[in-house]
Chain A
């Protein structure tokens, strides 16, 4: 009789522990999927930005005769960004592209005709929005990554994470130099 009760207690405890481990495991899987999903959202927006650029250059080229260097920079940064792989490398390349586009934004100020061009205005709106969307999806990606990494590092979920080899993910940082150094614009 005593043996039976003891066995029952052991079985119940075992069920509780296993259920708890399953819960942690499922939580980790869900987080990992959310990170993947958030990354694909960033991917969509980055691709959209890359697709917009040839169109933009085509529109701008006719007006901006003195900005050959700026336009070449953008084209170069775009092809670099498109070929970059891995979270960190892509972040860097996209940062350079953002910087090049920022220079274009400043240069446009000298061309009132261009600023009145309907086609250019709608392209500019698309570009602005795409950049915002990259920013917002990056924010939610990084939030998810932080949650996953916390789970992988913290006790007791770190045990389950170790058992099933869950990897920590990297944050996606777009190096944004233009936010730190304000572009110089002269109004003379």
Chain B
């Protein structure tokens, strides 16, 4: 299994280099355009660099490059040490323990045994009725898996296992760190390009008045630099996003294949994806930055297939998983992917040294008809317990959920109108 990680790492280096090049070029040309501009106020601080020889002077370019690198460096530092916490906080997820939801906890533990992770990831639940999940953490020792309450309510054990296996696959491949780093680079590019175009907008007036007094002092080189910078400022964010998304989609296929290998039951993930894609509820706390973290694209409205989606089309992922024969291996996943026309789903090195691993049968509990309402109610109670709700059961059978900010000492039962004491805690 180490092989495919190494193959991934080689590819990752290329992708990161491409992104870095883009970032560097953007910084350089903006610097060239800005700091050698004859009329720009900043220029006054650099009187030594004459406007009459702008094509020879790269100081501005290197200054821009330095600023771009500094922005990127600080954002990377923050995301490395606090990225996971920021994401978890932004999603409003809450950490749970085994007694809160034994099944979820067990499934996460099973999958970390199957993957041979050094430490079981922390488990978080998001109070959201949409069906989705994501993984965070910079390496397998600092990882967490987050699922939504909706997912817990609507999936059976096998489906849950498939989803968790996919997320553990991301942790195992260290996709999270990579996507986070790449995301930060793309973010830096967007920030720099945005700042540039805006400052251009505001300094436009001053620029024109300056030009009239110093009669084209910048020269042609100056104008060319400005044109390149503007073009880059428009194109770089788009390019960065495309690079980011292509990398993100490849990793989804690998995590799917890994889920099949870990669980030895591709149908679990396939049917879970089906439930997720059919579910109409959209995640409430999500944006374009966090979208690639989830198991399927949470922004349902933007599910335009092709270059700009964070995930491969869900139908295709289901189709590949269902096309796997009786063998839970990477080679079989690749064969199934080819049969639906996706040839490069997995890195070649992943396919070395595969053996036969029979696919298991469905879990007996999963076959039995599941009670979605009952399951959803249990999840709701779990979340309320985590949010320090108090439960009061009336003699007529009604169970009341008392929020933590409820101050009165008594409550009336809505059915039999009996007055009950609220235990203080």
Interface residues of A (CB under 8 A from B): 41, 105, 122, 124-126, 128-129, 132-133, 136-137, 139-140, 179
Contact = CB atoms under 8 A, between A and B. Distances in A.
Contacts, number: 36
Contacts of A133: 109-110, 113
B363 A136 contact: no
B361 A179 contact: yes
B387 interface: no
25 contacts: A41-B113, A105-B364, A124-B365, A125-B102, A125-B103, A125-B106, A126-B102, A126-B106, A128-B157, A128-B363, A128-B365, A129-B102, A129-B103, A129-B106, A129-B107, A129-B109, A132-B106, A132-B110, A136-B110, A136-B111, A136-B114, A137-B113, A140-B114, A140-B116, A179-B361
Question: SS class of chain B's interface: helix, strand, loop or mixed?
Answer: helix
Interface string B102-124: 11001101110110100000000
The 8 closest A-B pairs by CB, nearest first: A129-B106, A136-B114, A136-B113, A132-B110, A140-B116, A125-B103, A137-B113, A133-B110
B248 to A, nearest CB: 28
Interface in B62-115: 102-103, 106-107, 109-111, 113-114
A126 B103 CA distance: 8
Contacts of A140: 113-114, 116
Contacts of B106: 125-126, 128-129, 132
A31 to B, nearest CB: 14
Interface residues of B, number: 17
B105 to A, nearest CB: 9
A137 B114 CA distance: 6
Contacts of B363: 128
Nearest to A134: B113
A122 B99 CA distance: 10
A132 B235 CA distance: 50
Nearest to B110: A132
A99 to B, nearest CB: 14
Contacts of B365: 124, 128
B103 A139 contact: no
B6 to A, nearest CB: 17
Nearest to A178: B361
Contacts of A41: 113
A162 to B, nearest CB: 25
Contacts of B116: 140
A175 B415 CA distance: 55
A132 B114 CA distance: 9
A131 to B, nearest CB: 10
A129 B110 contact: yes
Given A125-B102, A128-B363, A128-B365, A139 B109 contact: no
A122 B102 contact: yes
Nearest to B357: A139
B295 to A, nearest CB: 21
B395 to A, nearest CB: 20
Nearest to B106: A129
A59 B109 CA distance: 25
A136 B168 CA distance: 14
Contacts of A122: 102
A33 to B, nearest CB: 14
A132 B158 CA distance: 11
